[in-house]
Amino acid sequence: MIKIGMMIGDRYEILEKIGTGGMSDVYKAKCHKLNRFVAVKVLKQEFSENENFVSKFRIEAQAAAGLMHPNIVNVYDVGEENGIYYIVMELVEGITLKKYIEKKARLSYKEAVSIAIQVSMGIEAAHNNHIIHRDIKPQNIIISKDGKVKVTDFGIAKAATSNTITSNVMGSVHYTSPEQARGGYSDEKSDIYSLGITMFEMLTGRVPFNGETTVAIAIKHIQEEMPSPKEFVPEIPASVESIVLKCCQKSPDRRYQNVPELLADLKQSLMNPDEDFVVRNDPDTEGNTRMVSDREMTQIKRRTYYQEAQEEEEESMRLRTDAEPAYEEEEIGDYGDEEYAEDYDEGYNPRMERVTTLLAVVAGVVICVIVIILAVRIFANVESGVDDELPNPIITDGSVSGTGEAQYKKMPKVQGKNVEEARNALAELGIKSEVNYVESDTVEVGVVISASAIEGQDVAVGATVTITASAGPKGVEVPQVVGKPFEEAKRMMEEQGLEVTREEAHSDTVEKDLVAAQVPEQGSKVPKGTNVTLTVSLGKEQSKVYVPNLVNKTEMDGTVEATEAGLQVSVIAHEFNAEYGEGYIFYQSYSQGSYVDPGTVIEIKVSKGAEAKTYKCNVNITAPTPEEAPDYVSGTPVQLKLVTDDGNVLLDTTASSFPQPANYYGLSAAGGTLTMSYTVTIQGPPTTDENGNQVAGATTTEPRSFNRRVEFTEE
């Protein structure tokens, strides 16, 4: 059992729990060997004796361990200790893309494309290592505090072979590819499909296919047409729409065939968002929408049954703050033991399903008959003058018209609903809404009293409907804060019991940092706790574009950053530069902080790294000097050994006469060391022989050596 403060693997000290999932917990730990913080994912104790879960845990470690890339959460270590299975990963401070989308409702196309580029680079690195993720979704994408996007959770990844992979493991059903939903093969193009669904959610704030059950969602992936993101957000550029739709083709052969193709189009869309450059593959029979066979239906139900059983055990990831490490294990796609399949097969009765379907059809017919009868009665009342209003006028962006090319939706019933439910219902239809509050003694606080469009009325998509809601018998009056500093305005609102949301916008009339607008307006009566949106002025909008710093960024990162700023990039040279690594920008034609016209071309130079230099050695080696060798005697043999700074031996010989020439060319080092070694003869003290005669003492030899620095010249 994991406890705070315990040591794992004799090096990882557990500091705190930062997340939990269905089969594992994630802890912040400190690696004492490398003195750094890491994330340790630990398999829960109840699963450590289950071979299936242990196998899945090991697969995640093996799949991700060999991947080292800036856009992948790197795995440092994996181990098992006393029945505790753990994976040591890079600690990322940030939030998941899912949480980020929820915070912002939806992302701009530039931000969505920029994130997709980084995710694609991470997926490309995995594919280059023959690893298919198979569970790409916003929950498995982390945005760090410095804006870096990283792919994590290779829990159901598989090593790719020359053939595609057949498996009974399916990723999260909202993002799974049709071939995964059928239980067929999955390859690199399955990851591309899931990334396309993720892009759709970034752009629109919703997933394209939803349903009451996972079976219903899986079937929609197989047989329903992919909706265009422009149906929900009309301002999405044409190229971005085409990229998403190509990623999400039913047939893998009609999608991008590899991630580099997708990356090329994503980068092009940043520079030319409205151009039609996305190449559509020729349609084939596999690409057509087709009905699900009985066999496929059985497979889908069985697989989604496993998934629902697994998801019931799982908890959603909890993050203490947005800035804490983000690790999430939602909708894990491993469905447990074969017992699940056997139990389900016993309980699944095709005949009973057909009876149920027949009853559902009959119920639908009855409901339709009731609706027709009610419609006839309502129409009769209108004809008899019960309703004196105009017969179903059409609400548009600001005018009333009978027909037009705009798309229209029927006004839903909002009266009696709370404000949030009413606005969500309108938003799902693409209709905007504004809320006015009035005091009411009869209607509960926050409940809709009326709307500017009546139920069933045609309303143009994008038009604004005004909702009138109850502020209760004693509503709070919204104070006037336009023109005041934001902090003061916020304090005034909070004193009235109101919550504040800050937005920013340029203004030609209101000074910077002052409130330029407020919603609801001053004097409105609203319930306590109502959220008031204050728009803070950014001052006059610059007509020029700010030039970012591109120096010391990679060519790709610099190009993306400049493009996002509204600029163009032209590489004018690739040159040697010792100060910057290969592939990094070392020059830009406009300096950081300057302002230029939108679309200005920024010329850059990219480093090829340090240029390789060669040197030559042309020296005459002179005899040892008295300063170097005081006891050296001319004519004594001297061993000469010349070694370059990078370890190459140029000269190893013995000489008795000097000078000695040394000429060498094409050297990679700028200098070397000459070692000169020789011997000296030492006369011992005189001695007396047996006859008493004095004789010369014995002689001995001793080695001597010294070093001499030799500098080479550049060729």
Q: What is the pLDDT of residues 540-582, one digit of tens each?
A: 766 678 899 999 999 888 888 888 788 888 888 889 888 888 8
Contacts of 9 (CB under 8 A, 6+ apart): 77, 79, 81, 86, 88
**Separation CA 440–CA 471 (nearest Å):** 6
Q: Which two tokens stand for residue 306?
A: 């496993």
Position 355, amino acid: V
Q: Is 175 helix (H, G, I), strand (E, B) or coil?
A: coil
Mean pLDDT over all residues of the chain? Answer: 79
pLDDT surpasses 80 at 248: yes
Question: What is the structure's pLDDT at 704?
Answer: 92
Average pLDDT on 396-415 reads 63
Put simply, whether the predicted model's pTM sits higher than 0.85 gets the answer no
Element (H, E) at 318: none
Alpha helix (H) residue ranges in 437-567:
486-495, 555-564
Question: Buried b vs exposed e over 127-166: b needs ≥16 C-beta within 10 Å?
Answer: bebebbbbbbbbbbbbbbeeeebbbbbbbbbbebeeebbe
pLDDT surpasses 90 at 508: no
Contact (Cβ atoms closer than 8 angstroms) between residue 310 and residue 332: yes
344 vs 446: which has the higher pLDDT = 446
Q: What is the pLDDT of residues 607-659, one digit of tens each?
A: 988 888 899 999 999 999 999 999 998 989 999 999 999 999 999 999 999 99
Contact (Cβ atoms closer than 8 angstroms) between residue 616 and residue 597: no
**Separation CA 356–CA 217 (nearest Å):** 19
**Separation CA 134–CA 179 (nearest Å):** 11
DSSP strand pairing (649-655 vs 638-644): antiparallel
Q: What is the pLDDT of residues 366-390, one digit of tens each?
A: 676 666 666 555 544 444 343 333 3
Q: Supply the DSSP symbol for 711.
A: E
pLDDT surpasses 80 at 399: no
**Separation CA 58–CA 659 (nearest Å):** 69
Residue 527: pLDDT band with limits 50, 70, 90 = confident
Element (H, E) at 670: none
**Separation CA 227–CA 245 (nearest Å):** 8
Among residues of the chain, what percentage have pLDDT more than 90?
A: 30
Residue 242: pLDDT band with limits 50, 70, 90 = very high
Contact (Cβ atoms closer than 8 angstroms) between residue 584 and residue 541: no
Bridge partner list, 676 = 640, 706
What is the C-alpha radius of gyration for the chain, rounded to an integer number of angstroms? 37
Establish whether 135 is a catalytic residue: yes
CA distance readout (Å), 152 to 123, 307, 391, 481: 10, 20, 56, 45
Question: What is the structure's pLDDT at 238?
Answer: 93
Q: Which two tokens stand for residue 428?
A: 């799902």
Average pLDDT on 461-466 reads 87
Q: Which of 135, 191, 334, 458 is catalytic?
A: 135
Query: Of 38, 53, 35, 115, which is closest to residue 327 (Cα–Cα)?
Result: 38
pLDDT surpasses 50 at 85: yes
Average pLDDT on 120-128 reads 92
Question: What is the structure's pLDDT at 186?
Answer: 77
Query: What sign for the dihedral angle of Cα 447, 452, 454, 459?
Result: negative
CA distance readout (Å), 5 to 2, 21, 351: 9, 21, 58
Q: Measured at the alpha carbon of residue 22, what is the angle toward residues 18 and 23, in degrees to the nearest 5?
A: 90
Position 536, amino acid: V
Number of residues assigned to the chain: 715
Question: What are the backbone dihedrals phi and psi of residue 483, each rounded to the nearest 5 degrees, phi first?
Answer: 95, -5
Residue 60: pLDDT band with limits 50, 70, 90 = low
pLDDT surpasses 90 at 336: no
Question: Buried b vs exposed e over 561-588: b needs ≥16 C-beta within 10 Å?
Answer: bbbebebebeeeeeeebeebeeebbbbb
Average pLDDT on 409-413 reads 90
Cis omega (within 30 of 0) on the bond before 520?
Answer: yes
**Separation CA 275–CA 241 (nearest Å):** 11
Contact (Cβ atoms closer than 8 angstroms) between residue 634 and residue 623: yes
Q: What is the pLDDT of residues 134-179, one digit of tens each?
A: 889 998 899 988 788 999 877 545 544 433 433 444 457 899 898 8
pLDDT surpasses 90 at 256: yes
Residue 320: pLDDT band with limits 50, 70, 90 = very low
